[in-house]
């Protein structure tokens, strides 16, 4: 009888273990499917990421929509490529010409503005090139001399890099010639924060969005040199990737639209407008959803 009891006990134990194993696998599979359905992939610029704005907004969105966000940060050019390939469901970038092309070619559903700030030309406090308070185009004409200090470029096809190219063109220079003009011109190939740190280390000049510069200012030995001029306007938009162009994003098409609604809602627009005031004494971004596109 004792042996039979022991055998029955172990049989029961094995059955329980098997049931728990089956239940655990089923639960894990169910969680995996649920997780796959509840993830939204967002490609964003390094400026929105480095300022901490996404870290601030991400948990609010996840709680509101019960969605897990996968935020990939890169230059605007790379972010748009992610969208073309269907690697992400929605993008938030700041390169108007390429954004409009992205939508015109059918990769994006619509371009929706949600915030803006300005680019700055920053450099050493002693301003060795003597460009303080000049018009941006005139400042670039002096920087092109290259004898006073280095210029550190993002060199990464980002929105900031596109703005730099536009400034060289507006100043009357061929960008391809400028980038090969001498050792004074340095292509960092990095994000905005890293580029600022490099410029600070080399005591050179660079162009930065205002938000990232303020967020990194405590780590830098750089100051704002030029901050006026309509060409320095920096507008951010959100674009859902078009599921008709790329079926890979079809599952999250509604969630991508939710992101547009989220960023342009009155509640989040206020949070964006207040972001940075407590820490830096000024907002890093100016909300603009539902308004005409700013021109200066």
For 46-73, how does the pLDDT look when each residue is reduced to its tens digit (9 = 90+)? 889 989 999 999 999 999 999 999 999 9
Q: Do residue 127 and residue 102 come from a single domain? A: no
For 130-143, how does the pLDDT look when each residue is reduced to its tens digit (9 = 90+)? 999 999 999 999 99
Q: pTM of the predicted model, to two decimals?
A: 0.82
Residue 163 has pLDDT above 90, yes or no: yes
Is residue 272 in a domain?
yes
Percent of the chain exceeding pLDDT 70 equals 88
Q: Do residue 176 and residue 219 come from a single domain? A: yes
Domain extent, residue 260, equals 36-116+236-287
Residue 29 has pLDDT above 80, yes or no: no
Q: What is the rounded average pLDDT for all residues in the chain?
A: 89
- Which residue, 114, 103, 14, 8, is CA-closest to 57? 114
Q: Do residue 254 and residue 171 come from a single domain? A: no
Element (H, E) at 122: strand 112-123
Is residue 151 in a domain?
yes
What pLDDT score does 253 carry? 95
Is residue 264 in a domain?
yes
How far is residue 280's CA from residue 271's CA, in Å, rounded to a whole number?
15
Is residue 131 in a domain?
yes
Per-residue confidence at 17, pLDDT binned at 50, 70, 90?
Answer: very low
- Which tokens belong to 163? 């703005």
How far is residue 196's CA from residue 208's CA, in Å, rounded to a whole number?
8
> CB 201: neighbour CB atoms within 10 A?
11
What pLDDT score does 153 carry? 97
Residue 9 has pLDDT above 60, yes or no: no
What pLDDT score does 296 carry? 72
Q: What is the CATH number of the domain that holds 251?
A: 3.40.190.10
Q: Do residue 142 and residue 198 come from a single domain? A: yes
What pLDDT score does 34 carry? 41
What pLDDT score does 295 carry? 84
Is residue 181 in a domain?
yes
Residue 167 has pLDDT above 60, yes or no: yes
Check if the beta carbon of residue 46 is closer than 8 Å to that of residue 76: no
Is residue 12 in a domain?
no
Q: Do residue 154 and residue 175 come from a single domain? A: yes
Residue 30 has pLDDT above 70, yes or no: no
Mean pLDDT of 21-44: 58
SS3 state at 51: coil
Q: Do residue 254 and residue 201 come from a single domain? A: no
Q: Do residue 138 and residue 66 come from a single domain? A: no
Is residue 25 in a domain?
no
Is residue 74 in a domain?
yes
**Residue where a domain terminates, one of 191, 215, 232:** 232
Q: Which residues, at least 6 apart from 162, have a Cβ–Cβ distance to it below 8 Å?
A: 76, 77, 95, 97, 98
Mean pLDDT of 156-183: 95
For 191-248, how does the pLDDT look when each residue is reduced to its tens digit (9 = 90+)? 999 999 999 999 999 999 999 999 999 999 999 999 999 999 999 999 999 999 999 9
- Which tokens belong to 127? 């301003």
Q: Which residues, at least 6 apart from 58, have a Cβ–Cβ distance to it below 8 Å?
A: 69, 71
Residue 129 has pLDDT above 50, yes or no: yes
**Residue where a domain terminates, one of 208, 232, 256:** 232
- Which residue, 84, 115, 117, is CA-closest to 98? 84
- Which tokens belong to 259? 């992101």
Check if the beta carbon of residue 205 is closer than 8 Å to that of residue 129: yes
Mean pLDDT of 9-31: 42
The tally of domains found in the chain comes to 2
Q: Do residue 221 and residue 271 come from a single domain? A: no
Q: Do residue 134 and residue 169 come from a single domain? A: yes
Q: Do residue 104 and residue 242 come from a single domain? A: yes
With 0-12 CB in 10 A as exposed, 13-18 as middle and 19+ as buried, what is 43? Answer: buried
Q: Do residue 247 and residue 143 come from a single domain? A: no
What pLDDT score does 21 carry? 45
Q: Do residue 227 and residue 240 come from a single domain? A: no
What pLDDT score does 38 carry? 80
Residue 251 has pLDDT above 60, yes or no: yes
Check if the beta carbon of residue 259 is closer than 8 Å to that of residue 62: no
């Amino acid at each position: 009888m004792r042996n039979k009891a022991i055998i029955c006990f172990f049989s029961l134990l094995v059955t329980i273990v098997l049931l728990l194993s089956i239940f655990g696998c089923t639960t894990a599979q169910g969680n995996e499917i649920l997780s796959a359905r509840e993830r939204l992939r967002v490609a964003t610029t390094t400026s929105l990421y480095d300022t901490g704005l996404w870290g601030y907004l991400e948990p609010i969105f996840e709680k509101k929509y019960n969605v897990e966000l996968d935020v990939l940060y890169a230059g605007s050019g790379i972010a748009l490529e992610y969208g073309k390939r269907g690697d992400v469901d929605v993008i938030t970038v700041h390169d108007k010409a390429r954004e409009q092309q992205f939508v015109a070619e059918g990769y994006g559903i619509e371009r929706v503005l949600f915030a803006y700030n300005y680019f700055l030309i920053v450099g050493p406090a002693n301003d060795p090139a003597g460009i303080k308070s000049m018009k941006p185009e005139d400042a670039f004409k002096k920087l092109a001399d290259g004898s006073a200090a280095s210029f550190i470029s993002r060199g990464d096809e980002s929105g900031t890099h596109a703005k730099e190219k536009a400034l060289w063109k507006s100043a009357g220079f061929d960008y391809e010639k400028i980038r090969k003009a001498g050792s004074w011109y340095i292509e960092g190939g990095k994000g905005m924060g890293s580029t600022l740190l490099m410029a600070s280390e080399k005591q050179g000049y660079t162009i930065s969005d205002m938000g990232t510069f303020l967020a990194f200012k405590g780590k830098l030995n750089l100051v704002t040199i030029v901050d006026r001029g309509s060409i320095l306007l920096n507008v951010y938009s959100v674009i859902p990737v078009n599921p008709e162009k790329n079926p890979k994003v079809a599952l999250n098409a509604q969630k991508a639209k939710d992101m547009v609604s989220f960023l342009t809602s009155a509640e989040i627009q206020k949070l964006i407008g207040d972001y940075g005031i407590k820490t830096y004494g000024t907002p890093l971004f100016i909300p603009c959803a539902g308004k005409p596109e700013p021109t200066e």
